[in-house]
Amino acid sequence: MTMGTAVATMPAALDVNTLPQFVDPLPLPQIAERQGYRPSPADPKLKVPFYRIAAQPVASKVHRDLPPTRFWSFGSSIPGPTLETRSGEPLLVEWVNALPKEHFLPIDRTIHGAEADQPAVRTVIHMHGAKTKPESDGYPDDWVVPGKSSLYYYPNQQDAAMLWYHDHTLGINRLNVYAGLFGAFFIRDGVEEALNLPKGKYELPLTLYDRLLTREGQLLYPVSPDPQSPWVPEVAGNAILVNGKLFPYLEVEPRKYRFRALNASNSRFYHLSLVDKASDRLSFHQVGTDQGLLPAPVPLTFLEISPGERADLVVDFSEHRGEQLILRNDAFVIMQFRVAAGKVSDTSSLPSALRPVPKIPESQAVQTRLLTLNEYVNKSGNPVMLLLNASHWSLPVTEKPVLGSTEIWTLINPTNDSHPIHLHLVRFQILDRQTYEPWLFQTKRELHFLGPPVPPDPNEAGWKDTVRADSRMVTRIIVPFTGYTGRYVWHCHILEHEDNEMMRPYEVVAAP
């Protein structure tokens, strides 16, 4: 990255190595409090649980030795309050914008949707992974200004999974999420409960997000050297927070735990491992992915998780009584687990089969779409804009799957980055990834493969809603378009990319 005056005037960043590690216990997000019941929009004779959740400024300590950090959150801490329900039990949320009229992070007024005539502070909330009608999906244009709210209906007619809510406002989504506007949503069901996985105090969320902190412990959102266009292609923080704390510790019993991991970072991919004192990697199991349980537990010693993805993990501490284990991202310390010394009885299970995930046959697809991921760079080689299928956000809708039909989306990535691609409304399965010759495709639109198709990793072989489209590869997903008709979006979940045009509308249409 080129250095310029704007960079030079940024406040000094914190050296996190000066802070003592493992002085703060891992916090758990608050549980969302129901405000009562309201008539269901689907059937006014039915009353459904109603929540009122407000985005508001908050000061929260990320470390014992730092002053409180200014955030925007949906509660008194970050992440916001956790919502929980059962499959098939709907709920209503009134998402309130109770923020000030000025943003505290640098808006780029050259970005689409954030032009000078647009209000600085706008919010619209998307429930990532939820199957909802378009009017409750948090379309990026459906933002509200401070003092206003939106009432969203979530039918929750879907399998048990960890979903998450976050801001999705056109042009400033990256800033609103960076400010802290996100939280978790758990859907439960009988299939999951029958498995007897660790639950109650033995099931914990691990929401990971990195932030660039100043020496005063305040959020720093980096800017480009051009003051007219402060957008940067990605953000790498100096502090990796877990449930809101830097270098937290968690006291655990020597038994099985279930950890619901979420990568809520703007652009960081994590490469997680759990190591002992000798830096040996310990094995753990992944039991679920974005859209719920895998067919069977997958043993891992290493987990890659890209922005927007979730990993449902079971870690057995029973062989590590009295030890202190470290969760790392590559070589960097994230948090510590302190395993108690005594013996405990553990009645939870890790069954060898979890739930069937029947493979969708390719023959079921009625259409295959070739969709490119595009990066445009300036003379210095820095990205200035990213597109899907070489199309700006504002162009007419080109992807119009028929409700109830199945399609194959072939994501062609000639760029040097991996892009986590998320489709709203639907869940899908990964078919394969394959290296190809980008130049031939760009000039002649010919797909010339350079290697055999690689099946998804075992821990991706379930229902997904976000997929890594790896660099210089073709990634194919098979998608049943069930649910509702109407306009939704698909986009890269690197939020800097999404805000700068790497998002497109798509429309589910009724069968003719």
Residues in contact with Cu ion by CB under 5 A are 419, 492, 494, 497
Looking from the CA of 1 toward its CB, the CA atoms found within 13 Å total 18
Nearer to Cu ion, 48 or 494 (CB): 494
Shortest distance in whole angstroms from residue 180 CB to Cu ion:
22
Nearer to Cu ion, 75 or 308 (CB): 308
Q: What are the residues whose beta carbons fall under 8 Å from the beta carbon of 314, sequence distance 6 or more?
A: 197, 198, 256, 257, 258, 259, 284, 285, 286, 287, 297, 350
Q: Which residue's Cβ lies closest to Cu ion? A: 492
Integer angstrom CA distances of residue 336 from 183, 326, 339, 347, 459: 23, 5, 10, 25, 24
Nearer to Cu ion, 62 or 232 (CB): 232
Shortest distance in whole angstroms from residue 173 CB to Cu ion:
13
Shortest distance in whole angstroms from residue 418 CB to Cu ion:
8
Shortest distance in whole angstroms from residue 498 CB to Cu ion:
7
Nearer to Cu ion, 122 or 419 (CB): 419
* Of 412, 420, 430, residue with least CA distance to 362: 430
Whether omega before 79 lies within 30 degrees of 0, making that bond cis, reads yes
Integer angstrom CA distances of residue 441 from 128, 389, 413, 436: 32, 13, 11, 9
Nearer to Cu ion, 311 or 492 (CB): 492
Nearer to Cu ion, 174 or 419 (CB): 419
Integer angstrom CA distances of residue 41 from 48, 87, 133, 215: 9, 18, 11, 49
Asked whether the beta carbons of 126 and 134 are under 8 A apart, the reply is no
Nearer to Cu ion, 30 or 471 (CB): 471
Shortest distance in whole angstroms from residue 502 CB to Cu ion:
5
β-pairing verdict for 367-377 and 406-413: parallel
Query: In which region does residue 325 sit, left (phi positive, over 0), alpha (psi from -120 to 50) or beta (all else)?
Result: beta
Looking from the CA of 35 toward its CB, the CA atoms found within 13 Å total 10
Nearer to Cu ion, 98 or 384 (CB): 384
Integer angstrom CA distances of residue 429 from 177, 190, 360, 426, 463: 27, 23, 8, 10, 5
Shortest distance in whole angstroms from residue 269 CB to Cu ion:
11
Shortest distance in whole angstroms from residue 174 CB to Cu ion:
12
Shortest distance in whole angstroms from residue 265 CB to Cu ion:
13
